Amino acid sequence: MRHRAITNPGICSFARPKPMLPLLNRVLIDYSINALQRLGVQMIHVGTGPRPMSEILERHLAELETPSFRINAFSEKSLLDTAGTLKYIMENFLDVDRGDTICVLPCDTPNNIDLKPILLNHLHNNAALTVAALPIRWSSTEWKERTFGTIKLGILPTIAEFRDRNHFETALRQRSEVLHGQSFRVETFCEQEERDRAQSNLISTAIYFFQAGLLMDLAPFITPREADPRFSDIGLHILPLLGGRHEEFASHNINDNFIRKVKRGDYPFYAYLLPGNTYWRDIGNPLALLQANLAALQMNAGQKPNEEAESVGRFPSSWQSLGELARKFRNPSFIDESAVIRSTARIRNSVILGNTDIAGHIKNSIVFPGSHQSLAGKSMMRRNVISRGVRLVNCIFVGGTLGPEFAPKTISDRIIYETIHGGLAFDPI
């Protein structure tokens, strides 16, 4: 719902699924696929969600050139939680042994994480589950607006040892940096922790490596998302169960033998500590999408992103695309080679995507590509136009035409999602 003006076809004719939102010249899901490609996987399964929006994602996946691996895209008949999707994949597509490894990645968290060291740690520890973990600042604006899954490790400091959270944060960050690149047993996992109640600022990145045997043993207990009580989500249910909070699942249909195995340590649960210069961002709302694009611009230009994190890595070259990257950087900005930039245009720190015509002034904004439209049975491409005199600042421009009638006023901090026949619709970012 937080992306409704971009992802809801009932609101916007340019709508697309969240994995298809742009990050520079690619869409979000491409970066997850690229990370798995570099890991050397042979098969990727993608749950595309219910129709009709799933068709956009399925069409994109079918057009990707992936000679070294296959992509199986499937549309769920009903919306599933993350554990439900895993169970569906296990039952319908996979033929695995108990010792095989299954990697689970989100497709809405751009990052520069190398998956291979996490996999090697997972295999070395003979872990049932490994999650990639990263310290986050208490003062992070993201944590003000949403919750995170937090992790407590015995080898790291605890908040009870310090006078205040700032001292704890500094100590945890310094200790994590010394230990980064290693995995440690998880003592406690708490999903959806509000910042003011959290006992740790070490968070889950939702990057998981599962031993197939664990998923086989969990499958009988996984429920539909509408069940009451439900056991359907990796972060809400599986991780807390393995992370020491067994009593919370007493009312669930989980047999005593499985709980005894968890308590006995038969399903080792590890957290892999990522280095301090890791870039990771959850695209939970339009503002985060805008900030991720601006950070990507700055990192590709060799600059430090203008964000709260004091140290983040530059995007590896392999981030740029699955194929050839065509780009122009200005100021820095990304301008797609198919965009028309008029002599009156002034573009700074922005992302201008394909099939657009720019004559106005644009700063700290994303201009989406034009969309395919059907007219009398024929497919045509509709161009997005921003005319001379228009000024966009801190905006996401999804589609249509903005004319010079907007010249007297700068439009800022908005998702502009439909401008047809002079009409204008927008949401605040």
Q: Which residues contact 174 (CB under 8 A, 6 or more apart)?
A: none
Which pLDDT value is given to residue 333?
Answer: 85
> What is residue 157's three-state secondary structure?
coil
Which pLDDT value is given to residue 211?
Answer: 96
Which pLDDT value is given to residue 371?
Answer: 65
Which pLDDT value is given to residue 148?
Answer: 82
Which pLDDT value is given to residue 2?
Answer: 66
Which pLDDT value is given to residue 374?
Answer: 44
- Please write down the HEC assignment for all residues of 21-40: CEECCEEHHHHHHHHHHHHC
Which pLDDT value is given to residue 325?
Answer: 32
Spans of the chain below 70 pLDDT? 1-2, 141-142, 144-145, 193, 301-331, 371-381, 405-409, 420-423
pLDDT tens, residue by residue, 176-192: 888 899 999 999 998 87
Candidate CATH numbers 3.30.870, 3.10.450, 3.90.550, 3.30.160; the one for domain 98-284: 3.90.550
Name the residue type at position 173. R
The answer to whether 173 and 218 are in contact (CB under 8 A) is: no
Which pLDDT value is given to residue 130?
Answer: 98
Q: Give 59-65 contacts, CB < 8 A, sequence gap 24+.
A: 60/20, 60/27, 60/29, 61/29, 64/30, 64/33, 64/322, 65/322, 65/323
Going from N- to C-terminal start, the domains of the chain cover 17-79, 98-284, 286-428
What would the two tokens of residue 308 be? 């709260």
Q: Which residues contact 107 (CB under 8 A, 6 or more apart)?
A: 18, 19, 28, 29, 32, 46
pLDDT tens, residue by residue, 237-271: 999 999 888 777 777 788 889 999 999 999 999 99
How many residues are there in the chain? 429
Task: Tell me the average pLDDT of the chain.
Answer: 82
Which pLDDT value is given to residue 314?
Answer: 31
